[in-house]
Amino acid sequence: MKTATRGRSSSRFKGKTILITGGTGSFGNAVTARLLRSGVKRVVIFSRDEKKQFDMGNTFHDDRLKFVVGDVRDRASIDHAMEGVNYVFHAAALKQVPTCEFFPMQAVYTNILGSYNVIESAVKHRVERVVVLSTDKACAPINAMGMTKALMERVMIAEAREQHGETILCGTRYGNVMYTRGSVIPFFVEQMQAGKPLTLTHGGMTRFMMSLEDSIDLVLFALEKGKPGEIYVTKAPAATIADVAAVLKDIFSYRGAIKEIGIRPGEKIHEALITREEKLRTIDQKKYFTIVPESMHIDYREYHYKGHVQHRLPEEGYTSANTARLSRSALKKLLLTLPEIRSELARVRSQ
Residue 345 backbone zone (phi > 0: left; psi -120 to 50: alpha; other: beta): alpha
Q: What is the model's pLDDT at position 297?
A: 56
Report d(CA 206, CA 253) in Å as an integer: 23
d(CA 335, CA 329): 10
Whole-angstrom distance, CA of residue 305 vs CA of residue 293: 8
3-class state of residue 292 by DSSP: coil
Q: Domain spanning 11-176+210-236+274-317 has what CATH number?
A: 3.40.50.720
Distance from C-alpha of 55 to C-alpha of 305, rounded to nearest angstrom: 48
Query: Is there a contact between 111 and 138 (Cβ–Cβ < 8 Å)?
Result: no
* Tens-binned pLDDT, residue by residue, of the chain (351 aa): 334 445 545 678 999 999 999 999 989 999 999 999 988 999 999 999 999 999 999 999 999 999 999 999 999 999 999 999 999 999 999 999 989 999 999 999 999 999 999 999 999 999 999 999 999 999 999 999 999 999 999 999 999 998 766 899 999 999 889 988 778 999 999 999 999 999 999 999 999 999 999 999 999 999 999 999 999 999 999 999 999 999 999 999 999 999 999 998 888 999 999 999 999 899 998 899 999 998 655 454 554 555 555 567 888 899 999 999 999 999 999 999 999 999 999 998 888
Between CA 332 and CA 247 the distance in angstroms is: 6
This prediction has a pTM of 0.90
Strands 65-69 and 238-240: unpaired
Residue ranges per domain, the chain? 11-176+210-236+274-317
Q: Whole-angstrom Cα distance, residue 84 to residue 189? A: 42
Q: What is the pLDDT of residue 302?
A: 52
Q: 194 near 252, Cβ under 8 Å?
A: no
Enzyme catalytic residues: 137
Q: Are 185 and 179 a contacting pair, CB within 8 Å?
A: yes
